[in-house]
Amino acid sequence: MLLAYPSLRWYDGRGASRSWLQEAPDPVTQVAWDGWVEVPRAAAARLGVANGDVLRVVSPHGSLELPAYVSDSLHPDAVAIPIGQHYAPYQTGRYVRPEAGPMNPLALLGSTTDPVSGGLAFLAVRVTLEKTGRRRPLAILQATHDQDQREIAQELDLAAARELELRGHAPDHANLPSLYPDPVYPNHRWGMSIDLDACIGCSACMIACQAENNVAVVGKPQAAYGRQMHWLRVERWAEGAADHPRNIFLPMLCQHCEVAPCEPVCPVFAAYRTDEGLNGQVYNRCVGTRYCGNNCPYEVRRFNWFWWEWPAPLEVQLNPDVTVRQLGVMEKCTMCLQRIIAGKDRARGENRAVRDGDIVTACQQTCPTQAITFGDLKDGASRASKLARSPRGYHVFEELGTRPAITYLKKVTRAPERARG
């Protein structure tokens, strides 16, 4: 049975011409820049196909050729195709998109209507799959959805969450000692909390960050090579049975570590710590050794491999408050430093201190579920500071002693809490 479903990124295809949306991977499959046909693992084994093998999907109303994406969780008797990719216009230059399917997947459905609603029947057509012998490798931006005991995206069950809340349990961070003296923050220490229970993986934060911070688009071949420039990515981690997993979405960005592994390895002090708790990056000083990126356990630093072009009228989309980086420079999340500066300037102009909520980062502003909260961790009454003290709070890889400024709040599930490894 064929399931042709609206894309999470461009619905029926109306947004498919936006390169930002093409480069943001689908939150579940993590495929960017292409259409695909999702095939259950058992069917893929029977046909002898792997990710990227081109299949011909044949229905009584037509046929369509798409690369296969092998799925562990799709119903064994279904194949699924996101619609709308074919609306993306052919583009030139660095934004080139590989061969597009010639036909709308909806055409495979024919004109059968649902008797109750009168709308197109989305689950009414049987299709067959044929191997073409060709390959069109997919750009899959996340190599695995298995946490492999790394406890990156954590969860706890509802009873445990209630118990911790009742007991007012403070998070148990592994604050390992450092060889360096503890930093002093005279005014603010900026930080963030991200509630994994609220995050639905929509990736709006990712696009907001890209738009706000002049983040370049690299196109399918470079994205497949791991050279995407996103300062913020939304990871999907699957827990439980492979055919019916519990998905945990985790927005990953620079953690602005208090003991940052990127800083001591920079030979020119381009990566440095500000006295407001940010991990700064001096673009003009960076000589592109990439030591910082290699030493970052969170893999959030991005290196510019190209001179970017912003052909007209794309240049008018650039944010004038943010430097446009070019070849040879390392970059990453700044917690929207330009917004922090503007917020402080506004407060100074009104002769008052910065108030909680004055400064809102682009990702926070755009998140439809308010999963992201930015604020001053030195202000015990700020929302970010209160959330950082939540019993559900934890730091990713806190056993490394990096002391991140970003606190994640564990997802609340019905499954038993996993023992910390």
Which residues form the interface with ligand SF4 (CB under 6 A)?
199-205, 234, 249, 251, 366-367, 369, 371-372
The nearest distance, CB 134 to ligand SF4, in angstroms, is: 34
For ligand SF4, give the closer residue by CB, 209 or 259.
209
For ligand SF4, give the closer residue by CB, 32 or 234.
234
The nearest distance, CB 92 to ligand SF4, in angstroms, is: 31
The nearest distance, CB 195 to ligand SF4, in angstroms, is: 8
The nearest distance, CB 160 to ligand SF4, in angstroms, is: 23
For ligand SF4, give the closer residue by CB, 125 or 200.
200
For ligand SF4, give the closer residue by CB, 34 or 235.
235
The nearest distance, CB 407 to ligand SF4, in angstroms, is: 14
For ligand SF4, give the closer residue by CB, 271 or 336.
336
For ligand SF4, give the closer residue by CB, 201 or 219.
201
The nearest distance, CB 370 to ligand SF4, in angstroms, is: 8
Residue whose C-alpha is closest to residue 370's, from 161, 234, 194, 192 = 194
For ligand SF4, give the closer residue by CB, 51 or 366.
366
How many other C-beta atoms are found inside a 10 Å radius of the C-beta of residue 280? Answer: 15
Q: How many CA atoms lie within 13 A of 236 on its CB side?
A: 19
Angle at 293 between CA 192 and CA 249, to 5 degrees: 45
The nearest distance, CB 350 to ligand SF4, in angstroms, is: 30
For ligand SF4, give the closer residue by CB, 101 or 251.
251
- How far is residue 193's CA from residue 375's CA, in Å, rounded to a whole number? 9
For ligand SF4, give the closer residue by CB, 10 or 249.
249
Chain centroid to CA 261: how far? 22
For ligand SF4, give the closer residue by CB, 249 or 394.
249
The nearest distance, CB 408 to ligand SF4, in angstroms, is: 11
- How far is residue 326's CA from residue 216's CA, in Å, rounded to a whole number? 9
Distances (CA, A) of 343 to 350, 356, 358: 11, 10, 6
For ligand SF4, give the closer residue by CB, 161 or 202.
202
Q: Alpha-carbon torsion 361, 31, 82, 65, what sign? A: positive
The nearest distance, CB 161 to ligand SF4, in angstroms, is: 19
The nearest distance, CB 236 to ligand SF4, in angstroms, is: 10
- How far is residue 82's CA from residue 87's CA, in Å, rounded to a whole number? 12
Cα Rg, the chain, nearest whole Å: 23
Residue whose C-alpha is closest to residue 95's, from 17, 202, 162, 178 = 17
The nearest distance, CB 205 to ligand SF4, in angstroms, is: 3
